[in-house]
Structure 1
Amino acid sequence: MIIPGGSEIIIIGGGIVGCVVAYMLRRAGHEVLLLERDRLGSGASGAAAGLLAPFGPINGVGAQADLLLQGLARLESLLPEVEDESGIQTHYARTGALRVVFQEKRIAKLRKRWENWQPLGWEMYWLTGEEARQQEPCLHPDVCAGIFIPDEAQLDARATVQAFAQAARQREARIEDGQEVCEIIMDRHEPERNMERVHGVRLADGRKLACDHLIIATGAWSQALLAPLAALPITPVRGQMLILENAIRPLRHLIFGYAAYAIPHAEGVLVGATREEVGFTPGVTDEGQAWLKARASRLLPNQAGQSAIRAWSGLRPMTPDTRPLIGPVPGWTNLLLATGHNSVGFLLSALTAEGLRAMLEPVHSVREQEVLRLLQPCLPQRFLS
């Protein structure tokens, strides 16, 4: 028996995507209940570095560039409002990013990226090795070229999750952590449409909650939850990170190179991240931490020998084409996905939320039509049809 306590929309997953979706849907007037099995932001979002640096995955003009750059713009426009409503600072800062190479033979590849990025219209600068070190004095003397993009940014990942959750609560969204969903309850089959329908969810404590729409935002764990209904091509990828003590000269910018990154952090220098396909194995390893320290020393010689303040890991949800799964599940009238964001969950969180709102509302404004266009490559039907 379904007992009272359901909602028009139930969201499963309290990471950055789930919390932003809850905020945006409540802002649009929908009744929302968000359920998180652990603590808010306890998964990949809590482990994230907080990078808002879209150019890493971009190869040039096209759908991917549109998606990531618009994702950043829409999140940036939302942050002041959310900080004001929640009273929580996200510590957003346009730190600027340097992407560097160490060998002359790699300059051509970096130059090709520079040429591909030029039509996108962002402010960016090609730097010699000496110019790169003038921009960031901590850099290794072997750096021979770099690209500086001043508008790439960072924020405090954990604080940002809490800010969106609190802002959603301020708008009377219901958010319950420590509530594990054990089963998705199916409704009657709709033969005239050849469609199935979700009726609600069953929690670990036995409660059954009804909903009109169900949104899955559970990251790497989405496949297990949806296994009885649909086979999602999402695999967990472990990323280890650490924070090194600040050297005498603090880091100014986001630094990418040598297959890693080093970024300013309140406690020191944050270094990331490994990419390990080890299933759902959590935790850090000696090998992973040694790899990160070696990369940090290569990028920033003044970090060599610095002690690690702390280390941790998270599980990114990755799809075969690295694009997220956003939108309705084929064959279901009221089941939607907001998952599989890999390492760009923060970057795409606001755009994901806008897209789901547009999918739930019958009348689309010009802005909503543009969002739906941007998210077309992320529709689940590419894997599930």
Structure 2
Amino acid sequence: MPGSGAAAPRVLLLAPSAGPGGGVERYLDAVEEALLAGGATLTRLEAPQPAATPATTVASQLAARVDFARRAAAAARRLGRLDALVAGHPDLVKAAAGAASLGGARRVPVLCHGADIWRMPPADRALLSRHPLLRPVTVSSFCAGALAGPRLARLLPPGVPGAWRATLLAEGSRRRPHAPVPTVLSVFPLADWADKGVPTLLAAVATARAELGPVRLVVAGRGPAPGALHELLSAEPDAELDESPDDDALARLYATADLFALCTRTRASGPRPCGEGFGTVLLEAQLAGCAVVGPAFGGSREAYQQGVTGFTPSDESAAALAEVLVGLLRDRARLTRTGRRGAEWAESVTRPEDHVRAVYQALLDSPPVTSPDPARPPVAAAAAAG
């Protein structure tokens, strides 16, 4: 048994506020689940979500960060010597470094997910580069390259929380007849619609309609959706918006779509950098049996098998995306076969027991204390720090 006779590792996880939802939350949920399944004693401390109002000031945001850093340090001191203090987002790097110094921790992995790498303030980047305990951990080779300046990063590709994975696989296993009109689906936090390439997707779908006839477009994700997105989609034929679907509804959207498309723009500089570090939604769509189209650039090519379970446009233009969409939507039977291959591949690369071992190696430099049981997902909950 891996780690037999070893003491349970003690881990404090600093998690960002819930924010707009999406891959970061799923990523952290899977990490937390894996740590528990491998036998760790885990305490989670979640940063408060700032009030998104015009009255929110820079001073109040700074005060909230200082208060969270204080609470993180208090939790670390109370828990004693930690095997790992995990910062779940680069925004928490200062709080993690301070808590580790005051409370004691053997290592401080900092989880970096994508666009947050380019948006990291220079002071935080310098801290990540120089602090002896901090070590970046990221989701793809693309992101590891972006972090090569601060420090060589370890790779920990996303896992999928057990219950959510089971829901997706079950929904995808249901055989359904083709709907009369093919459906293209895109899922992302709705506030990020511009960075996620919605205008380009709309233009590409319009080209597909001109060549093939009616094509339904569904945009879904954590809301509320900005008014500009409502206006954009309401002006389009056969375009629908699904705000904050629950997991059952989201799994059905994945399983009933003919094709999933994620069109994230990649900008590593400028006033608002953006990019896709991995694209967990691509894995989710494949688990539900849906073929996928990923962004032209970024780290998403590690989220599917190019030409087998998913496809990539040659660039970020609407013309390049339309070429891929038209080629795939012409043959819906082929898309169904591609989706089935995607489900088989995604199931094989998201097995919980494999993710447990990967999490322990990346974050703790050790095997799990207890052998992960693929038939029994963990039911214990992490303790919440006060």
Structure that is richer in strand per residue: 1
Place the TM-score, normalised by the shorter chain, in its bin.
under 0.3
Question: TM-score of the superposition, structure 1-length normalised?
Answer: 0.23
Instruction: Judging by fraction of residues, say which structure has more helix.
Output: 2
TM-score, normalization by structure 2: 0.23
